[in-house]
Each structure stands twice: as structure tokens, then as C-alpha cells.
Amino acid sequence: MIAAERGTIEQLIKAQAYGLGFDLVGITTLGPAETVAAFDDWLASGYAGEMEYLARGAEKRADTRRPVHGAKSAIVVALDYGGREPSGPVSRYARGDDYHDVMVSRLRELHHYIETAVGAPVSGKPYVDTGPILERDLARRAGLGWFGKNTMLINPRMGSFFFLGELLLDLELEPDAPFEADRCGSCRRCLDACPTSAFREPRVLDSTRCISYLTIELKGEIDDAIKPAIGERVYGCDICQSVCPWNVRFARALKEPAFASRAAIAGKDARTLSREILAMSDEDFRTAFKGSPMKRAKLGGLKRNAAIVLANLGSETGIAEVEVETDHPPDSLSR
């Protein structure tokens, strides 16, 4: 058994996780989710909008032992995606490769390493934003940070520009101490900076008013009254993170090549990117955004967003030029 030779299994797991490129790692014991009641209240208030999938798996979501039969512990990791990158028409997290693929692959590597370290098969499964798990709950319990007023998990050493993932295992591990402090204090910068007033109160987000939801998850038309507030944002929004003092001070430069801006986005302002999106065919879209999280909005959604951005920039003439020159007019949503 490798652990007996080189240190405790917990020490080895953390060292390997950091070696795989993760920026934070913590361990917690599985059990009843502490925030499930608040989440259920949030769903009942209608704040999830069209994201009906969030209500699925309620029984499993209530207890983190249920998604993986026999699971006892969770290794929770975070991977930074570059909070020092300049703002732009695409949210920082979505400019490169899909984080789900990047993180799940590494969590599987970590799983394989653990089996080698203990010298036996270990039942387990990685999750990255795709299962009935309240990930912030697990992350806080694993000592990775606290819930900010903008609902993001904030770490005191690196802010909040990071992805969360977890590896649920049928393995008894010594848990880390949970993060108990609330370090937001009286600060309201994230709440006050939101251009659509999406926060009903601290730590309660009405997704139906959130620019990220509107430009990514919403499938239909965006309300005319809210379109001007979208500004130049084609996909997602970083405002409530960008103004957070913990990010202003501790956000890190991009170090993960997989999250670097792809050619379809890199160096392009909102006007240029919007015109190019409006000119795209389905084949163009598949080529430009292969393996990108931006595929979630689909081409129709991106064209809708691009048309709104150009209208906000006063570019009706630009839209007409795209329609005539490319023979690929915006679909009914963006029209």
C-alpha cells in the first residue's frame, strides 16, 4: 500500500490533486446536505426560471451519500480559470474548452491513482456541475470557502473565479474542517453592481433576471425592458465577481491552457464578435465552438444575444449588412 510508505492517504490524495493542476482540494464526509431546504425554497420561488432540470433528483440531492451507492467521502477540488483576464463580451469561464471535460478527466485520473494507492478497487464517481449535488455545500464543508453575497463560493486566497468538482468515493477518509466564517461583512458591491437587480437579497439570486441565465439558459425571447441592461454581453456575465474585493485583490492570472480564449473569441470586441455570430451557418458554429461551453446556448440563442448587443451599440445598419452579405439572416429569435 503506497500510503503506508509515503504518508497518509489523505496527504497523498491532496498532493496528487495539486499535481494534476487543481488549485484547491479538501475532503469531507458525505451525509445530509445542509443547504437543501434553502435550495428547495429557491426552486419554489420560481427563481430557477426555465431550468427545470434543477428540480430533478431531489431525493439524491438531499443526502450526498445517495448519488453513488456506498459512497462515504468526497474529495472536493477547485480549478481556477483566470480572473485577471480582461472583461469582454464572453464570460471568462466560457472562452476556452468545456470545463466539464477538463475536470472530469482529471478527477478520473485522481480516482485511478487512489485505487493504486490503496491497492484495491474503490467504487466512486466524479461530478462537475452535472449531478444532483449541492456542490457549494460540499465545498464549504471541505474547507474551500464561504458563500458570498453573490451566491458564489469565495476562497480567501484566490477569490471566486474557479470551477468546482468532486469525486465521491466508497472510502473512509479523514475530513477537513469546514469553512465557518462569513467574510463578506457589510460589503454590498456585488449586489449594487448588478445591472438587472437580479439579487432579491444577499445570497438569493433570481435567475430570471440574471444576464448569465438570460444569455445562456433562456430559450425564448428576452424581455424588451431588460435588453439594454445586457449591454455588450454576448454570453454570460462576470460583473458580480469582478467587483468583489476578494477578486480585486486575489484573482489569479490564467495558467490553464485549456481555458485560454479560442480563435473565435480571442481579441474580438462585442461588435466584431456579434457580427461574426450573426453571419455563422450551423457548420460554422460547430467548427468554431467545438468543445466549448458556449454550445449550450446553441446558435439561435447566440444570434439572439448578438442582435441585442448590436442594437445596444446602435448597429442596426451592421445587422442589415450581415444579412445581405452572408445570406444567413438571424433566426426568428434574434430578428
pLDDT at res. 232: 98
**What is the band of 54 on the pLDDT scale with cuts at 50, 70, 90?**
very high
Average pLDDT over residues 148-170: 98
Average pLDDT over residues 206-215: 98
pLDDT digits (tens, 9 = 90+) for 31-43: 999 999 999 999 9
Candidates 25, 36, 111; CA nearest to 71 is: 111
Query: How long a stretch of residues is the chain?
Result: 335
Supply the DSSP symbol for 156. Answer: T
Candidates 203, 206, 136, 192; CA nearest to 165 is: 136
Rounded to 5 degrees, φ, ψ at 269 are -80, 175
Residues 6+ apart with CB under 8 A from 252: 23, 80, 82, 83, 84, 158, 159, 161
Evaluated on CA atoms 3, 5, 7, 8, the torsion sign reads positive
Catalytic choice (41, 63, 101, 129): 129
- Cell 453513488 belongs to residue: 68
Q: Do the strands 146-147 and 153-154 form a parallel or antiparallel pair, or are they unpaired?
A: antiparallel
- Helix intervals (H) in the chain: 2-6, 9-19, 36-44, 58-62, 99-118, 135-141, 189-193, 211-212, 227-230, 239-242, 245-250, 270-278, 282-288, 298-312, 316-326
- Cell 466549448 belongs to residue: 292
Assess contact for 109 and 83: CB atoms under 8 A.
no
pLDDT at res. 123: 97
Phi/psi-derived region of residue 317, left when phi > 0, alpha when psi is between -120 and 50, beta in every other case: alpha
Average pLDDT over residues 57-74: 97
- Residue 129 catalytic? yes
Distance CA(175)–CA(307), nearest Å, equals 49
What CA–CA distances, in Å, run from 278 to 271, 301, 329? 11, 11, 7
pLDDT at res. 58: 97
Q: How many of the other CB atoms lie within 10 Å of CB of 252? A: 18
Helix, coil or strand: residue 113: helix
pLDDT at 326 over 80: no
pLDDT at res. 5: 55
pLDDT at 215 over 70: yes
pLDDT at res. 210: 98
Assess contact for 307 and 275: CB atoms under 8 A.
no
pLDDT digits (tens, 9 = 90+) for 279-316: 999 999 999 999 999 999 999 999 999 999 999 999 55
pLDDT at res. 200: 98
Cell triple for residue 282? 450551423
Candidates 266, 269, 209, 271; CA nearest to 240 is: 209
**Burial environment of residue 219 by CB neighbours within 10 A (0 to 12, 13 to 18, 19 or more):** exposed
**What is the band of 236 on the pLDDT scale with cuts at 50, 70, 90?**
very high
Cell triple for residue 189? 458591491
pLDDT at 255 over 70: yes
Helix, coil or strand: residue 32: strand
pTM of the predicted model as reported, rounded to 2 decimal places: 0.93
**What is the band of 327 on the pLDDT scale with cuts at 50, 70, 90?**
very low
Cell triple for residue 19? 499535481
pLDDT at res. 6: 56
